[in-house]
Amino acid sequence: MMNDAGSARTFLRAGTEYLDHLRPGGAVLAALSGGADSTALVIALHEYGGLTVFAAHFNHCLRGEESERDEQFCRDLCERLGIRIFCGRGDVASSRLKGEGTEEAARRMRYDFLSRTAVECGASLVALAHTADDQAETVLMNLARGSGADGLRGIPLTRRLVPGVTALRPMLLTTRAEVEEFLECRGERWVTDSTNLTNDYTRNFVRHEITPRMRELNVRFTEHAAAAAASLAEDIACLERLARPLAESGSASAIADAPRPIAARAVRMLAAPFIPGRSQTEAVLELCRNGAGSAQISIGGGLIARRVYDRLEIVPQDNRSAPDSRPLAPSPAPLRAGANLYAQSVITLTSATAPAAANMSSGAALWISGRFSPPFIVRPRQPGDFLRPAGRPRASLKKLFINAKIPAALRPLLPVITVDGRVAAVPGFGTDAEFLPSPGEHSWRIDIVPASPDIQAQGDK
């Protein structure tokens, strides 16, 4: 039934404007597990027309021979389609960070691999194979957990992975039944992850036990739930556009006078990535309404909401207000080419040609000479750390942080990038003169952005 390029466009009907913007010659990297959804995604992108398609498969090495089978299936599929595939692997079980579960570690490693691979092959989009069924399941799971509107909008259509690379879910309005029909019409096969057949995980329980009952009430439950989530996402995007100027102004009186849905969202923006509950949000709004002077309240997550006259701030608690609430300094971590998650930031290291000196000193990116080779080390400030930015005197990081009025509680979270044990660069303060490249020199560009709150929110294809 669906066997031409036009049907591929119908099949990939969520966010197609992103794919259309890639033509002609744009590159998209498809995450390929070998399951039905991701197999259909790769084939549909291949048929879409005008795109340069790459595939990426990450072997988590968690299911023994079955994991090896899946990787080989993906390699064979891409060879038959003439698509270049990038395969990575990692021992998830031994790579878990402290307090990190197996699924969370696998997701972190997979996203890091996808981000690095997209940069390597020049793809501005990473396509993920979430379907309308995944969306419906997510909405039900979030509803059961007591989520508000943000949770009920489900899986986002897009989100930024690293600078210049966006994740897109073009099958978010496509049902699993359509996926199987799409593949069967083409005589294509796929592999099945045996862990998806049990109810050991919450999503599997919802998939096997709850959504079938919902379809008994309405055979089109999946489509309706996905459409409702998409509609709610549009409404929330509108609220966020209205709330952002309020949050940026930090005016307590302006927030207090705004309609509650907009005011509440401004409060959540100020608290991000922490998500305050309804009662905590209401307490902050009450703080905004309470006239002149200064006051503060704790809102959880190691944060306080503080009103100083008409200015509202949400900041980490300092030692004087709550000695045990200061955020722990992150452990030192290697900084390798590609995307690196550190504390609450994504640090992306890419090979690039150094721009003019003025651009290196005025831009947001940091630059390190290509004379030095990663992995570098990123860590918190330590006693005795100094920095000598080009054209400025050498100064201790402690003095620089104090002069810049960085709150004491935030200083441990500010990444310090070192090379061979010496401070090479610090965001906001620049690169040490010893490590700064000359214009036109092969070098390393470092971009640092806040980690997206939903990077850990969904299971990924």
In a domain, 411, yes or no: yes
Q: What is the mean pLDDT of residues 392-411?
A: 80
Q: How confident is the model at residue 412 (pLDDT cuts 50, 70, 90)?
A: confident
Please state the pTM of the whole predicted model.
Answer: 0.65
Distance CA 369, CA 387 (A): 16
Residues 173 and 275 in one domain: no
Strands 366-369 and 416-419: unpaired
pLDDT average, residue stretch 379-388:
91
352 and 437 belong to one structural domain: yes
Q: What is the pLDDT of residues 336-381, one digit of tens each?
A: 888 888 877 789 999 999 888 766 766 678 999 999 998 899 999 9
Regarding whether 162 and 70 lie in a shared domain, the answer is yes
Provide mean pLDDT across the span 308-320: 74
Are 311 and 380 members of one domain? no
| Tokens 């049902």 -> residue | 175
Q: Is residue 424 included in any domain, yes or no?
A: yes
- Same-domain pairing of 78 and 165: yes
- Is the residue at 432 inside a domain? yes
Residue 154 host element (H or E): none
Classify residue 427: in a domain, yes or no: yes
pLDDT of residue 324: 40
pLDDT-derived band at 455, boundaries 50, 70, 90: very low
Q: Considering 316, 346, 366, which residue would you say is the last residue of a domain?
A: 316
| CA distance linking residue 142 with residue 212, whole number of Å | 18
User: Packing angle between helix 260-271 and helix 221-249, nearest 10 degrees?
Assistant: 80
CATH number of the CATH domain containing 36: 3.40.50.620
Whether 131 and 203 share a structural domain: yes
Domain interval for residue 275:
250-316
**Residues 176 and 270 placed together within one structural domain of the fold:** no
- The pLDDT of 61-69, averaged and rounded, is 88
CB 357 within 8 Å of CB 440: no
Site of tokens 């300092």: 318
Taking the C-alpha atoms of residue 111 and residue 91, their distance in angstroms, rounded to an integer, is 15
| Same domain assignment for residues 294 and 423 | no
Both tokens of 89, joined, read 């692997």
Average pLDDT over residues 422-448: 91
Are 52 and 203 a contacting pair, CB within 8 Å? no
**What total number of domains does the chain contain?**
3
Instruction: Give the model's confidence band at 321: pLDDT under 50 very low, under 70 low, under 90 confident, else very high.
Output: very low
Report yes or no on 289 lying in a domain: yes
CB 229 within 8 A of CB 139: yes
| Whether 343 and 434 share a structural domain | yes
